[in-house]
Amino acid sequence: MKHEFRVRVGPAGFRIGSDWKQPIDQLAALYSDYPAPDIPDFTVRLFAQRPWRRFLRPSVMIGGDYMLPDAAPVSLAHGLLAAEMGMNLQMALGQRRYLLLHASAVERDGKALLMTGHSGAGKSTLSALLGERGWRFMGDEFVLVDLSTAVVHAFPRLVSLKNEAITLFEGAVDADRLGPLMRDTPKGDIRHLQPPTDAIAKMSEPARPALLLFPRFGHAPDVREVGEAEVFVRLTQASTNYVALGEAGFDALSSLVRTIPTRAVDYPDTENAVASVERLWMELAE
Amino acid sequence: MNTNAYRADPPEARRVIALDGVALIFHRPSGLTHILAPPAPQILEALAEGDAEPAALLDRLKRDYDFGDSDDLEAALEARIAELEMSGLVWRA
Amino acid sequence: MTDAGILTRALVDPSTTQNFDAGDWTALIAMARAEQLMGSLAHRLDGLGFLPEKVAQLCADARRFAEHARRQALWEAEMSRRVLAPLGEPVVLLKGTAYVAAGLSAGVGRSIGDLDILVSHEALDAVERALTGQGGWEWVKEDAYDDAYYRDYMHELPPLIHKERDRMIDVHHTVLPLTAKPTPDAVSMIADSVELENGLRILSPADMVCHSAAHLFADGDLAGGLRNLWDIDQLLRDFGTRDGFWKALGQRAERHQLAKPVARALRLAEALYETPLDGALARRGRVGDALYIRRLLARDDWGRETRKFLRLAFYIRSHWLRMPPLMLIRHLWTKWRKGQN
């Protein structure tokens, strides 16, 4: 294609082709510290629906090795978002080497804290915040569970800050680490954040899962135990490839569920969340 | 075809893990995961002895488990078998 | 200009990839995925010592996924068997599910979508009742027009999806749309079908090739054609050495009014996959094959379809093959009016 960028995030390499220069330049700036794969795992294509739509009201179609048949185009101003969506789509539909959990993760002392829940539950913001406060950021979207050793692999792509979460980081982090502010995307306002340097440098180091939390933002502080069967069901729902991995996926997930301490956590605001995460980590992480 | 006997895959076809009171089952022929509460796992175990009609199956279960003296046992058992049949774990022999 | 020739050559002779650089591998994998041939390619490349580590990984992933597809397909077939067996009607598995159920080479690494079965026209109502009754399947969409369209002009019931398992079944009573010009003899296909151990059936070898050839040309704008043609190549390699196969293929192709499509499929398979053939059946020396080959190979190193004009030409053609002209206009008109509401 006319413009191309390659990047490896954790164990997954991507080749992103585009009919336009702008999204590629933005990717190159924000992923500047990442390695480039020579043979990528996945191809993403950003293309115009019709040749003249490259220039006239340009809208970006998202394609690649794995595609959704009815994906809607996004405006060129949101081209970086389109690239990120395309990469996520390849992982969600095409990842066959690891059990993919829709979860965020941070690491300390070789041990990983996993957080999963519905979108809007705050797992992404919380992981990014912890990444700025002494934890190693492993990813805000996907965690990759190894099928043979039960460790988890990092997937530290750009953090996708949404709406109110954007102001938490503006001013607090180096401005070079922030992408363009994209207003009124299908998911509201979005601004991408480059993960901290150590998160990128250590992205090939796996960690042993030591604590699993189901956070919920905007509720009175509360901590509840969750039964193993419920944890299992919630994690299968948080996985896009559990079924496709067959018995290997079953083994990896059931042994994770039986060994990892798990809590559901409600919190009213992010400061409260960071404090309760630190406390639970001290109490439970083995 | 007019028998009412049910059949299940042999135990090797399933990987079973106990999780707080329920059985987590990976069913190898289908690649599907099921979470079963009692007495469904026990029904599968009892069918490992061979095909059985509901009445005979109930006798096998009574031998190993105490059901008290409820009178609708056979109807309740048939309802559980129907669920297992829908999930593909048992079928008509 | 890059085209999918590197993919067909790698499938025929995996050693052609020996001197590939990273760019070649990247292109090959993108093309194989776009053509739904990654699983088949992964099996062909399995065990080659010179594969880069990443390629070996991606191939292992693809084989794992194909194994899942195989298991899922066989399970859907088994679930339909349990529901349909009491009817005592022959149920013939078609396409991918048939290949894996029979252990044919065409099934190795193949991606398999819906379950396709062939039943007699007379059994259609009973089959429909059994599937939607205790079977647990339901209509994908309730729409009177599409319903009538499928039943009147197409060769299958409107698609059904299973409530729990989310998998589709297509129930056919003939192998091409009723309006298509060739009218394969579905009754004799069922009569000649072969019973598997579990009571389900598959088409006879000759009919399987006829069906696959009909499918290659009748379905869509030759999209997915390389995969369909790979099926044909693998079937011919499995069956070609059996006594009497080529003679039977000639006879069945005539009977199903598919002599021309079968001959063309044979020639294309020979051209792209070096399939060993019986020369007389292929009717070599026909014009037009070059255009088909260009269309089938129209894919670039990003996995994108190329040669757009050629594709459009084939698309218009493919609709004409499926439906007589007048009906085509009515179909597009009705679809257009629906879009207005």
The enclosing domain of A244 has a CATH number of 3.90.228.20
Instruction: Among B1, B29, B92, select the one facing C75 at the smallest CB separation.
Output: B29
Instruction: Quick: pLDDT tens for A60-82.
Output: 999 999 988 777 889 999 999 99
CB contact under 8 A, C71 and B92: no
Residue of C nearest to A12 (CA): C54
pLDDT (average), residues C201-230: 90
pTM, entire model: 0.91
Last-in-domain residue among A69, A94, A119: A94
Last-in-domain residue among A94, A127, A146: A94
Residue A53 confidence (pLDDT): 74
What is the helix (H) or strand (E) element at residue B92, kind and residue range?
strand B90-92
CB contact under 8 A, B30 and C71: yes
- Would residue A202 count as lying in a domain? yes
Percentage of chain C modeled with pLDDT above 90: 65
Percentage of chain B modeled with pLDDT above 90: 57
Instruction: Give me A203's structure tokens.
Output: 């992205």
CB contact under 8 A, A247 and B22: no
Residue of B nearest to A258 (CA): B19
Distance from CA of C71 to the nearest CA of B (A): 6
Q: For chain B, what is the mean pLDDT?
A: 89
- Would residue A185 count as lying in a domain? no
Residue A122 confidence (pLDDT): 84
As a whole number of angstroms, the distance between CA A85 and CA A66 comes to 12
**pLDDT score of C53 more than 90:** yes
Instruction: Give me C48's structure tokens.
Output: 């080659």
The residue with greater pLDDT, C19 or C337, is C19
Residue A69 confidence (pLDDT): 78
Whether the CB of A259 is below 8 Å from some CB of chain B: the reply is: no
As a whole number of angstroms, the distance between CA C110 and CA C35 comes to 11
Instruction: Give me C105's structure tokens.
Output: 């080479």
A87 with A137, same domain?
no
As a whole number of angstroms, the distance between CA A89 and CA A23 comes to 17
Residue of C nearest to A16 (CA): C302
**Which residue's entry shows tokens 């589709």?**
C168
A53 contacts: CB under 8 Å, gap ≥ 6: A59
Parallel/antiparallel/unpaired status of strands A98-102 and A142-146: antiparallel
In 3D space, the residue among B39, B52, B55 whose CA is nearest the CA of residue B7 turns out to be B52
**pLDDT score of A201 more than 80:** yes
Instruction: Quick: pLDDT tens for C237-253.
Output: 999 999 999 999 999 99
A138 with A267, same domain?
yes
A143 with A65, same domain?
no
As a whole number of angstroms, the distance between CA A65 and CA C27 comes to 11
Which ipTM score applies to this complex? 0.93
C155 contacts: CB under 8 Å, gap ≥ 6: C172, C173, C174, C175, C176, C177, C178
Residue C28 confidence (pLDDT): 98
Contact C293, C287 (CB under 8 A): no
CB atoms within 10 A of CB A31: 23
A22 with A143, same domain?
no
pLDDT band at C339 (very low <50, low <70, confident <90, very high): very low
Which domain covers residue C67, as residue numbers? 5-340
- Would residue A167 count as lying in a domain? no
Please enumerate residues of B whose Cβ is less than 8 A from a Cβ of A. Answer: 15, 17, 19-22, 24, 26, 28, 31-33, 35
Q: The sheet that has A3-9: what strands, in order across it? A: A3-9, A12-18, A42-48, A59-64, A74-75
Interface probe, candidates A228, A236, A253, A255, chain B, greatest B C-beta count within 10 A = A228
Contact C35, C330 (CB under 8 A): no
Residue C325 confidence (pLDDT): 46
A230 with A143, same domain?
yes
Instruction: Quick: pLDDT tens for C99-110.
Output: 999 999 999 999
Instruction: Quick: pLDDT tens for C126-139.
Output: 999 999 988 889 88
As a whole number of angstroms, the distance between CA A223 and CA A227 comes to 13
pLDDT (average), residues B43-52: 94
Residue of B nearest to A257 (CA): B19
In DSSP terms, A63 is beta-bridged to A45
Residue C336 confidence (pLDDT): 45
A212 with A248, same domain?
yes
**pLDDT score of A278 more than 70:** yes
- Would residue A213 count as lying in a domain? yes
pLDDT band at C165 (very low <50, low <70, confident <90, very high): confident
Whether the CB of C284 is below 8 Å from some CB of chain A: the reply is: no
With helix as H, strand as E and coil as C, how does A128-187 read?
HHHHCCCCEEEECCEEEEECCCCCEECCCCCEEEECHHHHHHCCCCCHHHECCCEEEECC
Which partners does chain A have (≥3 C-beta pairs < 8 Å)?
B, C
A268 with A128, same domain?
yes
Tell me which chain C residues have a C-beta less than 8 angstroms from the C-beta of A244.
Answer: 65, 68
In 3D space, the residue among C166, C145, C182 whose CA is nearest the CA of residue C331 turns out to be C145
Helix axes A246-259, C53-84, angle to 10 degrees: 100
A115 with A85, same domain?
no
With helix as H, strand as E and coil as C, how does A7-66 read?
EEECCEEEEEEECCCHHHHHHHHHCCCCCCCCCCCEEEEEEECCHHHHCCCCEEEEEECC
A82 with A207, same domain?
no
Count how many Cα atoms sit within 13 Å of the Cα of residue C162 in the half-sphere of its side chain: 20
Instruction: Among A43, A243, A246, select the one facing C303 at the smallest CB separation.
Output: A43
Instruction: Give me C333's structure tokens.
Output: 């008109």
In DSSP terms, B22 is beta-bridged to B19
Last-in-domain residue among A46, A79, A94: A94
**pLDDT score of A163 more than 80:** yes
With helix as H, strand as E and coil as C, how does chain C read?
CCCCHHHHHHHHCHHHHCCCCHHHHHHHHHHHHHCCCHHHHHHHHCCCCCCCHHHHHHHHHHHHHHHHHHHHHHHHHHHHHHHHHHHCCCCEECHHHHHHHCCCHHHCCCCCCCEEEECCHHHHHHHHHHHHCCCCEEECCCCHHHHHHHHHHCCECCCEEECCCCCEEEEECCCCCCCCCCCCCHHHHHHCCEECCCCCEECCHHHHHHHHHHHHHHCCCCCCHHHHHHHHHHHHHHHCCCCCHHHHHHHHHHHCCCHHHHHHHHHHHHHHHCCCCCHHHHCCCCCCHHHHHHHHCCECCCCCECCHHHHHHHHHHHHHHHCCHHHHHHHHHHHHHHHHC
The residue with greater pLDDT, C229 or B79, is C229
A39 with A141, same domain?
no
As a whole number of angstroms, the distance between CA A242 and CA A237 comes to 9
A25 with A55, same domain?
yes
Instruction: Quick: pLDDT tens for C274-333.
Output: 999 987 788 776 778 888 898 899 899 999 988 766 665 555 555 454 444 444 445 544
Which partners does chain B have (≥3 C-beta pairs < 8 Å)?
A, C
Which domain covers residue A19, as residue numbers? 3-94
In 3D space, the residue among A238, B14, A243 whose CA is nearest the CA of residue C68 turns out to be A243
A248 with A124, same domain?
yes
As a whole number of angstroms, the distance between CA A9 and CA A198 comes to 14
Distance from CA of B38 to the nearest CA of A (A): 14
Interface probe, candidates C70, C302, C304, C312, chain A, greatest A C-beta count within 10 A = C302
Residue C315 confidence (pLDDT): 54
- Count: domains in chain C: 1
Contact B6, B47 (CB under 8 A): yes
pLDDT (average), residues A160-185: 93
CB atoms within 10 A of CB A75: 15
- Count: domains in chain A: 2
